[in-house]
Amino acid sequence: MKITVFAQIQAHSGQSDALFRVLKQLVRDTHTEAGCIEYTLHNALDDANQFWVYEVWQSQAALDAHMASPHFNTFLAASEALVKQVDIHKTYAC
């Protein structure tokens, strides 16, 4: 079953440029992963601090592998001081 993830990420004030750079690297690295169908970064037009990542994975196992990958853990460490809030929603197509 394909898994879709909507991740909303809010940068701390003044940290949007730094977070954007870290997120862009995550996107580049994630596109090389087996099981990644789509991984797209979005930035709000009316709020530079608001980002969304739209992800589609072939399976829960592929998503789990992504979450355990070295580049995802590097992202977590690099973004910790930049991120104010994260909301993650996982869905599957009905």
Q: Are 49 and 11 in contact (CB under 8 A)?
A: yes
CATH code for residues 3-91: 3.30.70.100
Q: How far is CA 55 from CA 30, 67, 82, 84, in A?
A: 10, 12, 21, 21
The whole-angstrom separation of Cα 7 and Cα 52 is: 5
pLDDT in tens, the chain (94 residues): 999 999 999 999 999 999 999 999 999 999 999 999 999 999 999 999 999 999 999 999 999 999 999 999 999 999 999 999 999 999 987 7
Report the b/e string of 43-53 with b at 16+ CB within 10 A: beeeebbbbeb
Q: Which of 50, 53, 3 is nearest to 23 (CA)?
A: 53
